Structure 1
């Protein structure tokens, strides 16, 4: 099973790529409708410098927006999870804000900040902070009432309970949200770049689509997917090192 589990992430995508390639050849699908994987690889090679130029911008805006989302989301999650007043006051606002389509907010951000980097950072932040806040708040909420009563009887304050019990208890929830939020941050950056930017993978794909260069569009999608996978694996690695106690004995798990 160990060999099969290790080979699965390689064998399955490779099989899908081969099936995709054969389907394009067998049905003679035009490249402007669906390019084959080999055409996408050629587009990646021929446009390596241009893709690097745009992908570095996307990675920058994503990481900056995500970093702000981690700081703000963790603080907000601790506040909401440790205070009933904050929960009843802020949680409905967070749900309402998260329900607003971020695509509709990008034109407003352009009016405020102009096109370019800032709207992409803000959009990445808006898409990624909510899962962090909710998961951290959930982790704090898992503290058993009996444990709270015992700690209070020993003289611990609410701050002591949050700092010594709540925050360590919420770490697995935090890392689970980080793996989700980093992918959402990439989505936010690309959305903003598609609508209001002159640099980034979203801009590259928009320009390539306008020129019917669909292989280059797919090349941009591949780059975004690869960056998302790498960032996800980085957080999964750190999670395993820092919160292994929470998953010890588990037979399987996402990123575990």
Structure 2
């Protein structure tokens, strides 16, 4: 098999698998006459998506910009905090375990606290998206800086480079692959955080739509909301993947000839 055929298979395999799952899903729902209020078929979900496209679009836009606001804050805080932690081995050893413990806390538990502090609305949703997505960015930036080869750092010091020069001119570029990898993980987590917050502390957004549709037994509408969330998350994931491929080719040059 040539590399061209292999790339074509890799490119289309997710779509083929998705199509197979959808067909199997539809066959099972139709063959066993599964009630739509229990488990809607893909056809029923599509019907609800078209019927309520205006409402879904309104809620989706709210979820999208709230998620991007929280994600933007997570990028700024994550990069700055990751730089501070990764620039010192003592700071890395001291702070990393504490951040790991914080990341283990369920972020949904913060929503009632955020509601008390900021009220029902965009505040808790933005902060929940931030809290759930900044950790991967911080950890990856810090790891990229903290794992800088001592031999390389020694050579640069001999050549007259200061610690700041080493971090900015060598450490940060070296951390770019880690950074983009963290963005692809963090953006999907940010959508999760926003949706969870909207389910309990909002009157707009896909999370609110899911609760509303579930309470009225409109499972097709609820699944349509989930489909939109997944589509937005995957679109942002692919965007960061494309940016990564165009800006960090040097980090993958060894695998391009495979």
Scaled by the length of structure 2, the TM-score of the pair is 0.95
**Residues 251 and 18 from structure 1, CA distance in 2 versus in 1: closer, same or farther, beyond 3 angstroms?**
farther
Rounded to whole Å, the distance in 1 between the matches of 2:93 and 2:180 is 25
Q: Give CA deviations for 1:219-246 in whole Å, capped at 9, x if unaligned.
A: 0000000000100000000000000111
- Residues 1-256 of structure 1 mapped to structure 2, 5 A cutoff: 1-250=6-255
SS of alignment partner, residue 254 of structure 2: coil
SS of alignment partner, residue 255 of structure 2: coil
SS of alignment partner, residue 198 of structure 1: coil
Larger deviation: 136-145 or 239-248?
136-145
1:251 to partner: Cα distance? 5.9
Rounded to whole Å, the distance in 2 between the matches of 1:89 and 1:8 is 44
Counterpart of 2:3 in structure 1 is none
Rounded to whole Å, the distance in 2 between the matches of 1:144 and 1:84 is 13
**Residues 88 and 4 from structure 1, CA distance in 2 versus in 1: closer, same or farther, beyond 3 angstroms?**
closer
Rounded to whole Å, the distance in 2 between the matches of 1:48 and 1:8 is 29
1:252 to partner: Cα distance? 10
1:137 to partner: Cα distance? 1.0
Rounded to whole Å, the distance in 1 between the matches of 2:257 and 2:9 is 13
SS of alignment partner, residue 105 of structure 1: helix
In structure 2, the gaps of 5 or more residues are 1-5
Rounded to whole Å, the distance in 2 between the matches of 1:3 and 1:123 is 39
Scaled by the length of structure 1, the TM-score of the pair is 0.96
Larger deviation: 230-239 or 4-13?
4-13
Q: Which 4+ residue blocks in structure 1 deviate beyond 6 angstroms? A: none
Root mean square deviation, CA, Å: 1.4
In structure 1, the gaps of 5 or more residues are none
1:5 to partner: Cα distance? 2.0
